[in-house]
Structure 1
Amino acid sequence: MKSVLQIGKKILLVLMIIAVIIAGTRSIGMGMNIRTPKNGINVSFYVDINGSNQWINIYGKDIDNPVLLYLHGGPGSATSPIDYSFTRKWSDVYTVVTWDQRNVGKSFDKKNAADKITKDIMLADGKAMTEYIMKYMGKKKITLLGHSWGSMFGANLVLEYPQYYDAFIGTGQCVDIAENEERLYEEAKKWTEGDEEGKVLLSKWSPDKCDDTQALLARSEIMNRYGYGMMKDGRDYNIVATILFNPNYLVKDYISYVKNIETSMEPYMDFFAHGLYECSLLGKYDYKVPYYNINGDMDYQTNYEMACEYFEKVNAPDKKMYVMKGGTHGLLESRSEEFSGYVHDIAKRMASMK
């Protein structure tokens, strides 16, 4: 019994030492990331947006730079646990605002958690957040950069309120969810030819099952199986270090994120199955601001060919398509340095037009 107690004490001591090392390392890493750059800005806080507390972080190396609002995808998938690792790569040419949209991530609000999500609500939130950022930063206009759902969200905002924006940057550009799913399904039928296991997966999913979790998991597995998965190239940053050194997340924030993720996703699943169709960009080609796209040519999550066809029809003061060869849907994370290079090129291009 005595030896068991001694072993238990040693194990507890080792665990305590490991905990202290992790806590110390995290403190140092967070301390570095929480610093405000000289002549820049690094603040995080909540904004009351149409009766819902919504979290933003504003980070930039030069307070005089133009402001860029990053719209995460989903709908309903906040990226705040990791997005500082790639959005800060744009911070020398833009002051970057990252935003957890209504009731997701750090913006989860129990009293509003069951509220219905609609196109009108999201556009109203986007407009209100834009107005707040413009006032807070003293800017007459801002740039929008949207990924996946965020690209469709952002395009709709720019089309509806062009007076607020100086440019739109879409990546993993989504054009129309119905046609997007039909095209993916047709491609998946080709991929699964001669592959019985693949056909079994395909039988679990069809374009009309957008509110079925198991079907969506099968959809994702199909793309991973044939080399078109969102993160086929992995991440070009260390996910453990990124989470550990996140300056905006305490342990309780991570617990809350995991605890509430299913509850926060429920209204968005209904939106994905129904309301998202109302956000289609088909037939909406006239932009009053410059229109830019950064897309991977192997992206089937949001169909690359559709994005190219749409781009050709767009009328805008300026437009350019940047293509990441061999890139899939996770291009911001998997090839963030290359992606950042395109963002820098856009900033330079816009500056030359002033």
Structure 2
Amino acid sequence: MKTNNLLTVKVMFYTLITIVGLIISSLVFLVIVSPGKPQAYRDEDGKILEGSISEKTFLQIGGVKQGMFIQSKDSTNPVLLYLHGGIPDYFLTKKYPTALEDYFTVVWWDQRWAGLSFNPKTSQESTTLEQMISDTKEMTNYLRKRFGQDKIYLMGRSGGTFIGIHAAAQFPELYHAYIGIAQMSD
């Protein structure tokens, strides 16, 4: 009977050690290869392209922590701020590449209440057109300063066009051009 109990204890001990080892290995793997970390741009030899940028970052904008992905094969390229149409669509760029990062430093910004910037503690009352335009101006000024550019490009898709057209109209001195995709009107 003692032999069976000892065997059972040993099996349980080794099972527990195996489970703990798997959990620790999984956590280490997730930290090293985070699914939310964009891949770096590499040359033909597999080396990271000099001057490229591929990052996920967060910033306090309008008093709210907001996230974005910034990507470019050359971070001295003109900056293009992308305003999504309500549902952030950066995740589609892996399956449907845009090649925008060849010509621009693209900022895929998840605005308040969306994607990386979603926080249920953020007041819905703070999500007004005026606040979204103010956030866009603040983000624009951050990008101008960070990348040393007097003006940037502003591009909106669907619902993002409504914010984009207003921001471009109110602050034309900040933008080279405004680009509307599936432009909202009226």
TM-score by length of structure 2 reads 0.71
**AA paired with 1:100?**
D
CA distance, structure 2, for counterparts of residue 105 and residue 149 of structure 1? 15
**Would you say the 8 A contact 1:103–1:113 is kept in 2?**
no
Taking structure 1 as reference, are residues 29 and 103 closer, same or farther at Cα in structure 2, changes over 3 Å only?
Answer: closer
CA distance in 2, matches of 1:115, 1:30: 29
Shift of 1:118: 1.3
The answer for the alignment partner of 2:5 in structure 1 is none
Alignment counterpart, residue 84 of structure 2, candidates 50, 72, 80: 72
Question: Gaps spanning 5+ residues in structure 1: where?
Answer: 1-19, 177-354
> Matched residues in 2 for 1:46 and 1:115: separation?
22
Among 23, 37, 50, the alignment partner of 1:38 is 50
Deviations 1:136-162 (A, max 9, x none): 111111001110111221111110000
CA 1:101 to 1:83, structure 2 compared with 1: closer, same or farther past 3 Å? farther
List per-residue Cα deviations over 1:243-289 (Å, max 9, x = no partner).
xxxxxxxxxxxxxxxxxxxxxxxxxxxxxxxxxxxxxxxxxxxxxxx
Equivalent of 2:140 in 130, 133, 143: 130
Aligned-residue offset at 1:33: 2.3
Runs of 4+ in 1 over 3 A off after TM superposition: 27-32, 34-37, 83-88, 113-116
C-alpha deviation, 1:35, in angstroms: 4.8
Q: Aligned pair in 2 of structure 1 residues 108, 30: CA closer, same or farther (>3 Å)?
A: closer
2:151 aligned to which of 108, 119, 141: 141
The one-letter code matched in structure 2 to 1:66 is P
Q: Does 1:153 align with 2:163?
A: yes
Is the 8 Å Cα contact of residues 54 and 107 (structure 1) preserved in structure 2? yes
What is the SS of the residue equivalent to 1:65?
coil
Query: What fraction of aligned residue pairs are identical, expressed as a percent?
Result: 34
* 1:200-258 Cα deviation digits (max 9, x unpaired): xxxxxxxxxxxxxxxxxxxxxxxxxxxxxxxxxxxxxxxxxxxxxxxxxxxxxxxxxxx
Deviation at 1:89, TM superposition (A): 1.4
Shift of 1:111: 2.1
Aligned residue pair count? 152
Q: Which residue of 1 aligns with 2:65?
A: 53
The alpha-carbon distance between structure 1 residues 29 and 116, as it changes in their structure 2 partners (threshold 3 A), is: closer
2:74 to 43, 52, 62: 62
Q: In the aligned structure 2, how far is the partner of 1:57 from the partner of 1:48?
A: 15
Normalized per residue, which structure has more strand?
2
Distance 1:32 1:152, change over 3 A: closer
Residues 118/32 of structure 1: CA separation in 2 closer, same or farther (3 Å cut): closer
> 2:173 aligned with 1:163, yes or no?
yes
**Is 1:119 aligned with 2:129?**
yes
Distance 2:137 2:97 in 1: 22
The question of whether the paired residues in 1 share the 8 Å contact of 2:155 and 2:161 is answered with yes
Once the 2 structures are TM-superposed, how far is the Cα of residue 64 of structure 1 from its aligned partner?
1.7
Judge conservation of contact 2:155–2:180 (CA < 8 Å) in 1: yes
Q: Secondary structure at the match of 2:121?
A: helix
CA–CA separation in structure 1 for the residues paired with 2:151 and 2:93: 23
Residue 185 of structure 2 aligns with which residue?
Answer: 175
Structural mapping, 1:1-354, within 5 Å:
33-35=39-41, 37-74=49-86, 77-83=87-93, 85-86=95-96, 88-176=98-186
1:108 Cα deviation after fit: 1.1
Larger radius of gyration: 2
Which of the two has greater helix per residue?
1
**Unmatched 5+ residue regions in structure 2?**
1-25, 43-48
Contact 2:70–2:107 under 8 Å retained in 1? yes
For 2:105 and 2:177, how far apart are their aligned partners in 1?
Answer: 14
Q: Which moved more, 1:96-105 or 1:32-41?
A: 32-41
